[in-house]
Copies of this chain bind each other. A is one copy, B any other.
Amino acid sequence: MSNCYTCGVLAGRHSAPGGTIYEDACWEVGHISDPVLLPGYLIIKLRRHCEHLADLTPEEAATLGPVVQRTCLALARILNPAKIYVCSFGEGVQHIHFHVIPSMAGMPAGSYAVFLWLWLRRSLHRIGIKKWVHDPAVAENIAAQLRHELC
């Protein structure tokens, strides 16, 4: 869909640091296309434009778990996070996607605190306070390692 942000990422109209990390017939994995607030914060995107998990095809449903498991295993091997959150909201961007968020040392404890921490940093970035943005090269390096793990 021409006005869908995720379709734009999949078509290469918007870029993510490190580019595509993994893709198969149904799913594509890459960094979130934000400024790099958390290296290793990935998005698993459905390649087809579809807005509700209820509407996944049998092939898309059968391949969802394996891509989640493999992505989490690759992140665990490379970043060794305490936990990895995997969440689908689909409100700001309606196209089905899963946020894959590694909970790293130095981050607040607990998923609610992590979401607030990310939201605050993103909001501050939007008003020009860019203190917590990482060099895209950090995400590109992680993406290269993840790509190697997932190949």
Contacts and interface: CB of A to CB of B under 8 A. Distances in A.
Interface of A: 52-56, 58, 60-66, 68-69, 72-73, 75-76, 83-91, 103, 110-112, 115, 119
A68 B68 CA distance: 13
Contacts of A61: 65-66, 68-69
Count identical subunits in the complex: 2
Interface of chain A, main secondary structure: helix
Given A58-B66, A64-B64, A112-B119, A91 B83 contact: yes
A65 B60 CA distance: 8
Given A65-B60, A112-B119, A119-B112, A54 B83 contact: no
